Amino acid sequence: MTPEALIAALALPQQAMVNQRVAKKLLLDSGSPTAADKRLIQDSIEDLFWIAALKPEAIGVPAYRDDTREYLELAVLSATLRSAATPRLAELVHRAIPYPVLLVMAAPSAGSTTQAPCITVSLAHIRWAQREVDRTVLDGSVVQAAVGEDAIGTAFTQALALQRQPRTHMLDLYQGWIDTTTALQAAALTGQFTTSPNREAAAIRRTALHQCHDLKAHIAQLRTQASKEKQLPRQVAQNLQIRTAKATLDQLLASLSRPLA
């Protein structure tokens, strides 16, 4: 998988293409990055391109406005990285751009300079800042997933195509991309890629995914505590908690694997 192949799979109209380099200064001056964030941007990003600007007149999808947000344009960006595509780096890019962004990042493969790059996709909703006029902030966490060279990666790129997203308005279209990326996150746990048939099913999947990640972190914490525990009764109690948490995790994974209604 390459960034070019993934972007081509979006099947964007030619009139939406921009293909302009974005100066890192934009990221350094926007989104209120800390000194550590600025070092991360400088050290990690080789180059950043604004690939496409998806406006209503170019894609035939109406704009969206309410009291919380205004989606007049969706942006597609591509970044070539010198190091891993961390969630923090993706967040900094999303915070710096005043539009909802589909960000494709290509990072070097671990331990090799010849293998195909590691590709990730990230998205994040934005909304108006509460106390600053005309300033946007992220609305929720960044949704990020790695795109592999396997059948799951192929199915994901096909499902990401613009024409396969909801077309009611820009917010629905962007949410469609997020739901498709959430399906890729679920596939990393289940080994099966299936898109959600509707918004309700997608919301249930997101909740189950969050619960899975929380349970995995909790189980890892319990195992660390159990490995350090010297008293046998407490070890037994902690192992029982681990078994209970694992059973709950297995049930959640099974629910993610079942066909969505």
Is residue 251 pLDDT above 90, yes or no? no
Which DSSP state fits 260?
P
pLDDT at 243: 92
Largest distance between two CA atoms of the chain: 69
pLDDT at 137: 95
Q: Cα(98)–Cα(79) distance, rounded to whole angstroms? A: 17
For residue 56, report the phi and psi dihedrals to the nearest 5 degrees. -50, -40
Neighbouring CB atoms inside 10 A of 32's CB total 10
Q: For 174-216, write each residue's pLDDT tens digit.
A: 999 999 999 999 999 999 999 988 888 899 888 999 899 899 8
Q: Cα(109)–Cα(118) distance, rounded to whole angstroms? A: 6
Which DSSP state fits 77?
E
Is residue 261 pLDDT above 60, yes or no? no
Binning pLDDT at 50, 70 and 90, where does residue 257 land? confident
Which DSSP state fits 75?
E
Binning pLDDT at 50, 70 and 90, where does residue 112 land? low
Neighbouring CB atoms inside 10 A of 44's CB total 19
Is residue 114 pLDDT above 70, yes or no? no
pLDDT at 43: 96
Claim: this prediction has a pTM higher than 0.85: yes
Q: For 117-161, write each residue's pLDDT tens digit.
A: 999 999 999 999 988 878 999 999 999 999 999 999 999 999 999
Say which residue, 126 or 116, is predicted with more confidence. 126
* Cβ neighbours of residue 247 closer than 8 Å, sequence gap 6 or more: none
Closest to 118 in 3D by CA, of 132, 102, 104: 104
Q: How high does pLDDT run on average in the chain?
A: 92
Closest to 102 in 3D by CA, of 43, 44, 62, 162: 162
pLDDT at 111: 59
pLDDT at 252: 85
Q: Cα(169)–Cα(234) distance, rounded to whole angstroms? A: 55
Ramachandran class of 191: left when φ > 0, alpha when ψ lies in -120 to 50, beta otherwise: left
* Three-class HEC string of 95-136: HHCCCCEEEEEEECCCCCCCCCCEEEEEECCEEECCCCCCCE
Q: Cα(136)–Cα(159) distance, rounded to whole angstroms? A: 29
